[in-house]
Structure 1
Amino acid sequence: MRATRVAALLLACAVLGGTASACTGAGAGVSGTPGAAGLRDPYFPKLGNGGYDVTHYDLRLAVDRSAGHLTGTATITARATQDLSAFHLDLVGLDVTGATVEGRPAAVNRAGGELVLRPDAEVADHLRKGRTFETVVRYSGAPRTLTDADGTHEGWLRTVDGAVALGEPAGGPTWFPGNHHPSDKATYTVAVTVPEGLTAVSNGELVSHRTSGTGTGNTGTSHTGARTVTYTWRTTEPMASYLATVAIGRFRTEESRTDEGVTVFTAVDPGVAAEAEPELARVPQILAWEAERFGPYPFRSAGAIVDRAEDSEYALETQNRPYYPGPPTAGLLVHELAHQWFGDSVTPADWQDMWLNEGFATYAEWLWSEEHGDTPAGESFEDAFADDANWAFPPAEPPTAAEISEPPVYGRGAMVVHRLRLAVDDDAKFFALLRGWTTAHRYGNASTEEFTAYAEKATGLDLSRLWSVWLYGDGRPADATAPDLPAR
């Protein structure tokens, strides 16, 4: 190997956090290059990784009775998008005990929230662009709770009787290694082993639950001989990692099926069940109502996870069954279930596009109030227009990561949708546009630019004034009733 080639490999390995000996031992003769450490998201540049696309996660987890310690094995199936000599996984805090790529041991280095895997030369020589490969990572430890820039908490949250994993925007790496950017969606199998008496709920469909062991340990923790239950969940439609969840607790569970064949699975903390269950009974009705407006429900299952109010600071649209801290209202159910179309099925291209999630989910609440309450959507628009908090910044351009969940993304985002409805001036065409949008990008990712282009093509209208004023404009317009279409 020429000296210049050796120097280049050593430099690349040093950037990845490796040593010279590791590089020359594992990477010599490999023609590929390391995948990027991050996808340059405008708000989270280190989130996600380059060089590969995950197609499936198989996560095997064991959690103790306190839900404070986790042991896991992650089997990750991915397709190389370049010739790879090494690649990154996002993982925060947990200890890695070993890793293989294509069944052979791989060198592992840690650098903050980055886990760097360097296959041996024989394996790396086969990691060519377009090739599918399998990575296995074994890990354990106490999963972390993260504090976001806005002061809220995500990641692994301890609850009254267990824990819940909430991933928006960057909490997923606290409990499993992966490519944690919304642009890399995959299918999932999640098997969680918990002590008997606890239930583990995740996304998708429950495919099995199996009891093992013959006794109970004196410490109350899961160990050899103690009775445990393994719950296995499968998500067959692509899911962004921030929507993946595991909730562990003493839940009361119910399963039913809608007239359209969608499985509805709910898991409710017994302490709030009496208050929550009457509202949860409306889930099939809300799904049917939203399907009429947004298109067929995109998943095989739906439902809810309901903990106590003190267990989390917010609800979250975890795919298939949103998470609620305390009994949800009808409006909150409408909001989080609307996310199954806007955010979960059609997922933002990056975190700058959050208004495509929250603006449409908030507008779904306005529509529900219009049809099931006594508040026309126009009145909700006027209230939002009068709220100073909605004018702090344009919804499509939050200033920092701390603002991606602030009022303009929700309230002014919904105002954009309402102005579009007024510009179309025909409800049949407006809802056809929404159904067309969710169909065109079903199970994929989409950006603000793609939405605005789609809306103009679908309507045949010049909507540039609408976007410039309501989506990108600085400050509140002087006239809330001024037309958004060019004069004819």
Structure 2
Amino acid sequence: MKKLFLASIVLLGFQSVSAQLTVPKENFTHRDTLQGGLRPERTCFDVQRYDLNIKVNPTEKTIIGYNDIAFKVVENTNKIQIDLFENMQIDSIVFNNKKLNYKRDEIAVFITFNESLKVGSQEKIRFYYSGKPIIAKRAPWDGGFVFNQDSKGKPWIGVAVQGTGASLWYPVKDSQSDEPDLGATIKVAVPNGLMNVSNGRLLGSENLKNGYTRWDWEVKNPINTYDITLNIADYAHIHDNHKGLDLDYYVLRENEEKARKHFEEVKPMMDCFQSKFGKYPFAEDGYKLVETPYLGMEHQSAVAYGNQYLKGYLGNDLSGTGIGMLFDFIIIHESGHEWFGNSITSKDIADMWIHEGFTQYSEIVFTECQFGYDKAMKYAYGLGDNISNDQPIIGHYGVNKEGSGDMYPKGALLINTIRHIVNDDEKWWKMLLKYSETYRHQIIDTKTVIDFFNQESGINLTSVFNQYLRYTTIPRLEFRSSGTKDQFEFAWITEEPNFEMPIDIIFKKKKIRLMATNKWQKLPFEMKYVSQIEVLKDKFYVKSGL
């Protein structure tokens, strides 16, 4: 990752010099714009449904089949863009029983219709394809398939493509800006003796009399295209129900008893999240944990689980406080995505902090539900050690480019900071619940988030969001002598102009709120030394000139 080189001078008694944003300019390719851009061939139609029907050969590591793509025309057109990775073969594309002409341009497939499709019309194409999908080297951090085996040598297969793109393994409009409004079916044929688990509800299975059995799943809700998944193994199925919500777990047979005990954590998690974020967003499709040969992924209603039945993150505490060892990170984090990322989705992956920041914050929320406020704040503060401040959290729009990985901990601490700016927990929890419910099953952007919290809090938080999301430095609270004995001044030092943010400090065991801005102001009390002040950095993600 490219680094930000920062120059600043911080001296007591002198105004700090503001750092300049010097993140090197990135060069993007034609392929990046094809995958990330919204040209007319993409915006002219709205996907209504995907019906995927494929066969997976574990020995040859191949896929063959088709995707029926139903869509509504929103602008008159005779050409649309569907995406499929270059290494995958197009066998044919059929519309009204006739093959269509198409042109491949790297990842993009530009499909031409013989006549113009009219606004408002409902259309469907069948896209036949085949090939060997890319195999991930280190899933889920790079996109692709994982072909593994269980302890008995049986195939154990999964796929994770967030960021890389769903078109790695099936033809799709590969943009977060458009989800199939009417859901999807995922039908996957696998060798007899194995099972496929995908999103939604199991419709049934059929022995195809050719050594393969097809497993049919249906999703009734809109779904991110990178969330559509398959999981192939000799699975054991555990069914449970919690307060009317179906809970289903698909695990390797050798882990069945272990899973029954370990996955009990799902129930208090659901109680916590539903109380804070609202009803589970995909009750019609149920909730599943599916054991995978990689660490985890937020596949909607079929959450990928590979944390080896350990507490923490593969047995480690990301916060460094010990508190992270009180829960299974993957269960909590990936399930939090059902609300933030799956239900509420960012239009462009440049705004993926909307997924990851709120979801990492859900870990803090769960900690507070289970273990109390103090432990939650300790956990939150510990997450700060994972922040690099190397690049802005917001990435580049229109080129399939995420921002810095700081979107996880820094995004979470931004939200925690806003909670303490609001300074009214009853109001805060109502706001967070309203945010989740207002944008349930919607696709939004950063401006929408900022506007919402400005409106609901009654505070102009724009400069706060901008400083944390668009720059690599965090607000620094500076103090200097005012020239009068025992009197000091304070001000924020930030890149964002006209920055305003209240901050709580402790002076002589008393909590005092300073209404700090970029302009120097006198402290409302006298003191001999700056070290007499404690800035509440466990509640506000800031630095201070102490």
Cα distance in structure 2, aligned partners of 1:473 and 1:111: 35
Q: Deviations over 1:362-402 (max 9, x none)?
A: 111122223324753322333234x2634223323479989
1:390–1:412: 8 Å Cα contact kept in structure 2? no
Tell me whether 1:303 sits opposite 2:302 in the alignment.
no
2:36–2:398: 8 Å Cα contact kept in structure 1? no
Cα distance in structure 1, aligned partners of 2:140 and 2:53: 31
Equivalent residue runs for 1:172-321 within 5 Å: 172-186=166-180, 187-213=183-209, 224=210, 226=211, 228-259=212-243, 261-300=244-283, 301-307=286-292, 311-312=293-294, 314-321=295-302
Aligned to 2:536: none
Tell me whether 1:128 sits opposite 2:121 in the alignment.
no
Q: Deviations over 1:64-103 (max 9, x none)?
A: 2437121112111001222111212101122222211233
Q: Are the structure 2 counterparts of residues 420 and 67 from structure 1 closer, same or farther at C-alpha, using a change threshold of 3 Å?
A: farther
How many residue pairs get aligned? The number is: 428
Q: Deviations over 1:339-365 (max 9, x none)?
A: 000000010111111111111111111
CA RMSD, 1 decimal? 3.0
Q: Are the structure 2 counterparts of residues 473 and 174 from structure 1 closer, same or farther at C-alpha, using a change threshold of 3 Å?
A: closer
1:166–1:244: 8 Å Cα contact kept in structure 2? no
Deviation at 1:277, TM superposition (A): 3.6
2:391–2:403: 8 Å Cα contact kept in structure 1? no
Aligned to 1:71: 64
Unaligned runs of 5+ in 2: 1-29, 150-154, 312-327, 479-490, 493-499, 503-514, 518-546
Aligned to 1:322: 303
Q: Deviations over 1:222-277 (max 9, x none)?
A: xx3x3x32211111110010111111111112223221x22222111234445444
Cα distance in structure 1, aligned partners of 2:330 and 2:94: 43
Deviation at 1:183, TM superposition (A): 1.1
2:228–2:300: 8 Å Cα contact kept in structure 1? yes
Tell me whether 1:97 sits opposite 2:114 in the alignment.
no
Deviation at 1:332, TM superposition (A): 2.2
Unaligned runs of 5+ in 1: 1-36, 214-223
Deviation at 1:211, TM superposition (A): 2.5
Q: Deviations over 1:13-72 (max 9, x none)?
A: xxxxxxxxxxxxxxxxxxxxxxxx99959x934899332111100111112243712111
More helix by share: 1
TM-score by length of 2: 0.72
Aligned to 1:358: 356
Aligned to 1:11: none
Deviation at 1:167, TM superposition (A): 2.1
Instruction: State the one-letter code of the partner of 1:341.
Output: W
2:336–2:362: 8 Å Cα contact kept in structure 1? yes
Q: Deviations over 1:429-457 (max 9, x none)?
A: 11211111121111111111100100011
Cα distance in structure 2, aligned partners of 1:67 and 1:46: 36
1:212–1:229: 8 Å Cα contact kept in structure 2? yes
Q: Larger deviation: 325-334 or 362-371?
A: 325-334
Find 1:409's aligned residue among 392, 407, 410.
407
2:56–2:190: 8 Å Cα contact kept in structure 1? yes
Cα distance in structure 2, aligned partners of 1:325 and 1:49: 35
Q: Are the structure 2 counterparts of residues 371 and 439 from structure 1 closer, same or farther at C-alpha, using a change threshold of 3 Å?
A: closer
Q: Larger deviation: 177-186 or 404-413?
A: 404-413
Q: Are the structure 2 counterparts of residues 67 and 284 from structure 1 closer, same or farther at C-alpha, using a change threshold of 3 Å?
A: farther
1:253–1:266: 8 Å Cα contact kept in structure 2? yes
Please state whether the residue corresponding to 1:116 is helix, strand or coil.
strand
Tell me whether 1:159 sits opposite 2:148 in the alignment.
yes
Instruction: State the one-letter code of the partner of 1:282.
Output: E
Q: Larger deviation: 478-487 or 168-177?
A: 478-487
Equivalent residue runs for 1:37-116 within 5 Å: 44-45=36-37, 49-66=42-59, 68-92=61-85, 93-116=87-110
